[in-house]
Amino acid sequence: MLELGSRPSASAPASRAPVDRYARWTGLVVGALASRWPAPLNHGEGTLYAILMFGLCAVAGVLLGDALTAPRRGAVRTAGLTPRRVRDYVPPRMTPLLLGLAAALVVVLTAAAAVASPDDLGRAGRALTLTCRGMTESAGPWPGLYYGLPILASLTLSTAACGWALRRIATRPGDEQSRRDRTLAIVAAWGLVVSSSLFGTASTVSGALMSTTCDGAVGVAANWTVWPLGLLALLTAPWCLFTIISPRATAWRGRRAGISGTDRR
């Protein structure tokens, strides 16, 4: 699709359409309510599932709002030969950070699955079992395959859905500000899934390691690895949530990005 060199209409509203805003809030509210259902589960596994449900509902709300809202059209100026690409609209600083967090999440889950063991009831992939000084210790929950597969499935699902939406936004008609605003919101929704999942995973790993005395130097190194990741995820999640629910912040960032993008052309 060809790039249309256009400037956002001066009469365009600063905030998104009400239906878009309501859909985003509905996704967050439904996610908050749905996350209460698995929360009472024992041994901390409810918290992991609650985080997943909240993040997926947030993504669904943002995608629903985008699907129900027609693209805003700006004043068309001249047609160029440069195709519009998704990477031209995503936030340049947060996107690499979120991609790094997603990669870290996959690495942590893969490593956790490799050392996971059955719990005291024989259920595979739910605990960490260590042996030292002639004794065996088991700690859980541990994000092995039992907990890791749902996390990876939610990450895959949200990545595919958000990637499709970003491609759709980049290639459909509309003004530059509208495309950047909606791209930012979708990236933030995906980032909420990534950061919340990484925080839950890092907390679970650290909790299991700290409840044993047989972790040794490897356990200490693992803790010092997941602690910064968990802290970074904890700091990133509020930004993602604020971007989803704050029309003014989204519009302001979209205007700044639209202006800089127009200047580059």
Identify whether 115 is part of a domain: yes
Identify whether 51 is part of a domain: no
Helix or strand holding residue 7 (H, E): strand 2-7
Tell me how many domains the chain contains: 1
Distance CA 76, CA 8 (A): 9
pLDDT value, residue 8 = 41
Identify whether 44 is part of a domain: no
Whether 249 has a pLDDT exceeding 90, the answer reads no
Identify whether 194 is part of a domain: yes
Identify whether 227 is part of a domain: yes
Identify whether 197 is part of a domain: yes
Domain, as residue range, for 130 = 76-260
Whether 254 has a pLDDT exceeding 60, the answer reads no
Distance CA 62, CA 169 (A): 13
Whether 260 has a pLDDT exceeding 70, the answer reads no
Whether 139 has a pLDDT exceeding 80, the answer reads yes
Pick from 50-64, 75-89, 117-131: least confident: 75-89
Higher pLDDT, 14 or 26: 26
Identify whether 65 is part of a domain: no
Average pLDDT over residues 74-103: 77
Tell me: the pLDDT tens digits for 188-245?
A: 999 999 999 999 999 999 999 998 888 788 889 999 999 999 999 999 999 999 988 8
pLDDT value, residue 108 = 96
Half-sphere exposure of 152 (CA within 13 A, CB side): 16
Identify whether 152 is part of a domain: yes
- Listed in sequence order, the DSSP H helices in the chain are 18-34, 45-68, 94-115, 145-171, 176-210, 216-245, 247-264
